[in-house]
Amino acid sequence: MPFEGSCHCGAVQFTVDADPPAQAISCNCSHCRRKGMLLSFFPEQQFTLTRGEDALSRYTFNTHRIKHQFCRECGTQAFALGAGHDGAPMRAVNLRCVPSIDLDTLEIKPFDGAST
């Protein structure tokens, strides 16, 4: 069952053609830790940006492998662009930007991004 998400102001909106995840990754890298993101990864073809491409800005750091997308109006990072271990394009969705997901029910998996 597809689910939808957005930035805080609604200028950026997206749909993911997948069941809502039961797990989230909590990364301790300097970026994710500061933003408090809870991430889930999806193949590029399951992700559709439905509104706000012109409202997005991009931020990269360290290896520049992940292209963090954020709304220029409200500053929310709802998703990022990247590639999986096999090189296939993927989207990292910040589940805090998906109102239909009960964050308290997610199984949180730590990821040591600070050491990679």
- What is the model's pTM? 0.93
Distance CA 18, CA 98 (A): 13
Closest C-alpha among 78, 96, 80, 58 to residue 10: 78
Query: Nearest-CA neighbor of 105 among 35, 42, 18, 23?
Result: 23
Q: What confidence score (pLDDT) does residue 43 get?
A: 97
pLDDT digits (tens), the chain, 116 positions: 899 999 999 999 999 999 999 999 999 988 889 999 999 999 999 999 999 999 999 988 877 788 999 999 999 999 999 998 899 999 999 999 999 999 999 999 999 988 87
For 102, the token pair is 């009960």
Compute CA 68 distance to the chain's CA centroid, rounded to the nearest angstrom: 8
Query: Which domains does the chain possess?
Result: 3-111 (2.170.150.70)
